[in-house]
Amino acid sequence: MAGKQEKGFVLWFTGLPCSGKTTVADLAAERLKKYVRKVERLDGDIVRKTLSSDLGFSRQDRAENIKRVAFMAKLLSRNGVGVVASFISPYRQARQKIREDVTNFIEIFVDCPSQVCRNRDVKGMYRLAEKNQIRDFTGVSAPYQKPLNPEVTLHTEKESPEESCLKILEYLKSKEII
Ligand SMILES: Nc1ncnc2c1ncn2[C@@H]1O[C@H](COP(=O)(O)OP(=O)(O)OP(=O)(O)O)[C@@H](O)[C@H]1O
Ligand SMILES: [Mg+2]
């Protein structure tokens, strides 16, 4: 017989490119293994190379990308998985839709000043976007709509990834999700 099913949830990291979504989400997923039996990571870079390799970065394609990921997150979380998802997901409406579709949706706003993100430029994409060599780049030539009521806000320009991660774990504990 199947054992007791854990409550699933979706931790949804949103923020500008280079704000620190992947860095903190990876760490949080690792730390969560102490509390949750099943944790799954969904990350923009990986999904873009696999599930959504046919899509670009127009508003329509971004909506489609998030729709696919939201569907996976829904299936996983309703089966007791703690989903840790990190996507720029710049449109409020797309994030709102996921909030409506899954139970225990936790929006984590990775709030980092645009200038700090540009200086980090881990993948050299800001440099290309500023030279007009890539189109529709969030924060340069495509919009980013900040969350209005995120459950957790991280300030990665002044917190360490460890501190950001602790904030998330504290939130989950305070809501008795973990
Ligand atoms: N406090 C911090 N939290 C997270 N990342 C930090 C912090 N301080 C410095 N960094 C650095 O900032 C960079 C953030 O890059 P990361 O790939 O995590 O961003 P991202 O939001 O996932 O970007 P993208 O949307 O392009 O995938 C990393 O090089 C990381 O080491
Ligand atoms: Mg990333």
Residue 40 bridge partners (DSSP):
83
Taking residues 59-85, what's their average pLDDT?
A: 96
Distances (CA, A) of 40 to 2, 75, 86, 120, 125: 20, 12, 11, 27, 27
Distance 1 CA to ligand 2 centre (A): 39
Percent of the chain with pLDDT over 90: 95
Looking at residue 3, its pLDDT comes to 60
Instruction: Tell me which of 19, 52, 77, 89 is the catalytic residue.
Output: 89
pLDDT band at 59 (very low <50, low <70, confident <90, very high): very high
Looking at residue 1, its pLDDT comes to 53
Contact, 21 vs 37, CB < 8 A?
Answer: no
Token pair listed for 52: 């959504």
Percent of the chain with pLDDT over 70: 98
Q: How far apart are CA 46 and CA 104, in angstroms?
A: 24
Looking at residue 31, its pLDDT comes to 97
Strand order in the sheet with 152-155: 39-43, 82-86, 9-14, 105-111, 152-155
- The mean pLDDT of the chain is 96
| Top mutation candidate among 23, 48, 84 for ligand 1, by most atoms within 8 Å of CB | 23
Any idea which ligand is nearest the CA of 89? 1
Whether the pLDDT of residue 2 is over 70: the answer is no
